[in-house]
A = this chain, B = another copy of it.
Amino acid sequence: MGLELMNGPTSPFGRTSKVVALELGIDVDERVIDVYSADFLDKWNPLRLIPTLIVDGEQAIYDSRTICAYFDAISANPTIFPSGDWAHETRVALAIGVMEAGLQRRMEIIRKKDEPRQDVIEKLEIRIMRSLKHMEGLAGAITAGPLRMDQIASACALEYTDYRFSNTWRPDCPELAAWLADFSQRPAMMESRPSE
């Protein structure tokens, strides 16, 4: 079965999907594309968003959450989605929200056609920092137990915050900071880290 992962060079959602594939031993052919000129993507995903997974050149699967769940389902490894654990699902949603806010902030900052909106940027920054403090309160749950989706999503959200925004969250989030220092050394995290 051929799995082609349409990805961007720095997308936190694309990275999350890639980490899940690497951790679960899913053999994926990654194709890094420029989503802004990816008309060919429309027939697979008319939202023209990455990541988009193409299975056997026939079926598209998206968005990143669906792709991660699919990888989990076809993997022989233990599941990373504990069944019926709504606190876990909500921690995943929190991490996704942090990534989404970080991505929106980045899009605002690199806006070329007119001035970036400072009030929007500030609102997103407040949301991110507030969310990371909240995540610190959940650190005991996040860091405990075997590999799970909340760990991967949280680590990608924290590293994306470092990468595009700020690393100043650490004094407020000592447990997460200590955990991330270890988690970041996992081969899947290292192999998927943006190089630019």
Q: Which residues of A contact B (CB under 8 A)?
A: 42, 45-49, 55, 59-63, 65-66, 69-70, 73, 84, 86-87, 89-90, 92-94, 96-98, 101, 113-114, 117, 119, 127, 130-131, 133-135
| 7 closest A-B pairs by CB | A46-B134, A47-B97, A46-B131, A66-B89, A63-B93, A46-B130, A61-B86
Q: Are B70 and A86 in contact (CB under 8 A)?
A: yes
* Cβ-closest chain B residue relative to A134: B46
Query: In the complex the two chains form, is A90's CB within 8 Å of B47's CB?
Result: no
* A66 close to B90 (CB less than 8 A): yes
Q: How many copies does the complex hold?
A: 2
Whether A63 touches B97, Cβ cut-off 8 Å, given contacts A47-B127, A89-B69, is yes
Q: In the bound complex, how far is the Cα of B117 from the Cα of A87, in angstroms?
A: 38
Q: Are A49 and B86 neighbours in the complex by a CB distance under 8 Å?
A: no
Which B residues are in CB contact (< 8 Å) with A86?
55, 59, 61, 66, 70
Q: Which residue of B lies closest to A119 (CB)?
A: B113
Across-interface contacts of A45 in B (CB, < 8 A):
94
Whether the Cβ atoms of B131 and A94 lie closer than 8 Å is no
Closest to A46 in B: B134
A94→B46 contact, CB < 8 A: yes
CA distance A87 to B45 in the complex (A): 12
A61 x B89 contact (CB < 8 A) = yes
Please, which residue of chain B has its CB at the minimum distance from the CB of A83? Answer: B73
Contacts of A134 in B (CB 8 A): 42, 46
For residue A101, which residues in chain B have a CB less than 8 angstroms away from its CB? 47
B residues near A119, Cβ cutoff 8 Å: 113
